Amino acid sequence: MLQENDKSVVLKDFFKSNVLINEVEEILRFKPETLIGVDKISSDHLIAHGIKTIEDLANLTVTNLPEIKEILPNILQKWVKIAQIIQKNVREQLKRHKKILMVGLDNGGKTSILAVVQDKFSIIKSLLPTRGVKREKLDFFGYPIISWDLGGQIMYREKLYFNRPELFFTEADIMLYVVDIQDPDRFPEAANYFREVLKAFTELGENPELLIVLSKSDQDFRKTLQWQQNVTTIKNKFTKIVDEFEQFIIDFCDTTVFQKETVMQMFSVALTKVSDTSEIIENILEDFINQVDAKAASLVSMDGLIFGNYTRTDTDEMLVNNTALLLQTLSNFYNSIGLIRERTIKLDLPLNGFTIRGEKLFEYSDLQIPVYLWALAEEPKKLEGKLDYFKEQLLPLINLFL
Ligand SMILES: Nc1nc2c(ncn2[C@@H]2O[C@H](COP(=O)(O)OP(=O)(O)OP(=O)(O)O)[C@@H](O)[C@H]2O)c(=O)[nH]1
Ligand SMILES: [Mg+2]
């Protein structure tokens, strides 16, 4: 983030002080006169010669400039060079954003998930089907993302996306394929569309990460046998499809928009797939759990974002993460009725011989969201004895990557 701010400061320095920069991608569409040193009259001459934007200026070749008699060639050359620096910078900034494709049948819950991530709960009730593709920039805990929400209605699926696949299915870091888990009648249709998308990726030589989102896994529904059956059906169907191709790996996550933490958790899983950051955090956690003979550790924010975790077995991972999320929900409830948040949250399972323990480390973002280190340990004393070491030595490292 710091880097990005630094860069936009540099970019701003090229423009007159009255020019407001809201979105990086707008910059290339600015008129030439927004640049420092380009007066309105010269700008109008440029426009008259078809050079209407910063981008047009940048696309000129310095060694082969058009003749504009009102502007000296060496001055024009300077402006072109500046425009080219700006263009390069803008492109670099945009590239840093992870591109997330939201794909799936109509009514699956794609746009709702994006609304939850942005805390726009109120719009969910009145959402209309997405028309075509909706692109949006999000900031997920400071992590820059561009989401491409591909409206799932049949007309778009049949007439738009596969006619020009290169416009939609290239350069994605990850695809979240959303399946409405409450609608088994449409599982075959969802599976066929998924296969078509994988074919398009294959033909384009693209290999994004894939995460299948089992949406509408509402709390009550999750408790039913029907939910379990539907999940099994989807997992089998989709795993088979992926096996038809060579290059893809899939993972599954369930969400409900009625519990924000499920959506946050799903997004964290998605981001850990596309960022090196969590790998680094995982390495640090691995180092720590080895030192204290623990079995698993996870860094989780109070609203359910998992920054990274390290475990040796899937069961331990589930144990730590699910316990953390549930106990944090409880802690949030205590907090909401006026109790002071405890620094340490602990659950002993003596018959099973272990303890799951969360320790508050710091508060994250302007909203001051507490972040806890969770660990599963058979000898929690060892862990407790090393917490100061963790805070003093390892946490500053982790902070570098948050
Ligand atoms: N029960 C339940 N309903 C949900 C959930 N998420 C979304 N919905 C509802 O499902 C409907 C469709 O949601 P959208 O987010 O518009 O679906 P979409 O995938 O964007 O649909 P298209 O834009 O047509 O592709 C809306 O009425 C939502 O309120 C959920 O987690 N649980
Ligand atoms: Mg939509």
Which residue from 101, 112, 130 has its CB within 8 A of the most atoms of ligand 1, so it is best to mutate? 112
At 162-221, the pLDDT tens digits run 999 999 999 999 999 999 999 999 999 999 999 999 999 999 999 999 999 999 999 999
pLDDT number for residue 4? 42
What does the pLDDT average to over 297-325?
89
Tell me: pLDDT of 7 over 50.
no
Q: Does residue 8 have a pLDDT over 80?
A: no
pLDDT tens for each residue of 16-57: 988 888 777 789 999 999 998 899 999 999 999 999 999 999
Q: How far apart are the CA of 312 and the centre of ligand 2, in A?
A: 38
Nearest CA to 38 out of 84, 13, 75, 68 is that of 75
- What ligand is nearest to the CA atom of residue 124? 1
Query: Average pLDDT in the 311-318 region?
Result: 90
pLDDT category at 233 given cuts 50, 70, 90 is: very high
Q: Given the CA of residue 221, which atom of ligand 1 is nearest to it?
A: 1
Q: Identify which ligand lies nearest to the alpha carbon of 179.
A: 1
Q: For residue 79, how far is its CA from the centre of ligand 1 (angstroms)?
A: 49
Ligand 1 centre to CA of 229 (Å) is: 21
Q: What is the pLDDT of residue 9?
A: 47
Q: Which atom of ligand 1 is nearest to the CA of 124?
A: 29
Output the residue whose Cα is nearest ligand 1's atom 1: 216
Structure confidence by residue, pLDDT tens digits, 246-271: 899 999 999 999 998 889 888 878 88
* Whether pLDDT at 6 is above 50: no
* Closest residue by CA, ligand 1 atom 7: 109
Which pLDDT score is estimated for 264? 81
pLDDT over 70 at 1, yes or no: no
Mean pLDDT computed over 368-374: 91
Distance from Cα 127 to the centre of ligand 2, integer Å: 7
| Nearest-ligand number for the alpha carbon of 254 | 1
For ligand 1, residues with CB inside 6 Å are: 104, 106-112, 124, 127, 129-130, 151-153, 178, 215-216, 218, 256-257
Cα of 127 from ligand 1 centre, angstroms: 8
Greater confidence (62 vs 151) lies with 151
Ligand 2 midpoint to CA 237 (Å):
24
pLDDT in tens, 322-345: 999 899 999 999 999 999 999 999
Q: What number does the ligand 1 atom closest to the CA of 255 have?
A: 31
pLDDT digits (tens, 9 = 90+) for 192-209: 999 999 999 999 999 999
pLDDT band, residue 400 (cuts 50/70/90): low
Give residue 110 CA to ligand 2 midpoint distance, Å.
5
CA distance 104 to 109: 9
Mean per-residue pLDDT, 232-250: 96
Question: The pTM is what?
Answer: 0.64
Q: How far is the CA of 222 from the centre of ligand 2 (A)?
A: 23
Among protein residues, the one whose CA lies closest to atom 6 of ligand 1: 109
Q: What is the pLDDT of residue 142?
A: 58
CATH of 98-274, one of 3.40.250.10, 3.40.630.30, 3.40.50.300, 3.30.200.20: 3.40.50.300
Mutate to test the pocket of ligand 1, among 120, 127, 149 (most ligand atoms within 8 A of CB): 127
- If you take atom 8 of ligand 1, which residue's CA is the nearest one? 109
Which protein residue's CA is at the shortest distance from atom 3 of ligand 1? Answer: 216
pLDDT band for position 279 (cuts 50, 70, 90): low
For the CA of 218, the closest atom of ligand 1 is 32
Q: How far is the CA of 107 from the centre of ligand 1 (A)?
A: 5
Report the separation in Å between the CA atom of 130 and the middle of ligand 2, taken as the mean of its atom positions.
4
pLDDT digits (tens, 9 = 90+) for 78-98: 999 889 888 888 887 776 788
Domain 277-400 grouped into CATH 3.30.450.30: yes
- The closest-lying atom of ligand 1 relative to the alpha carbon of residue 258 is 31
- pLDDT tier, 2 (very low <50, low <70, confident <90, very high otherwise): very low
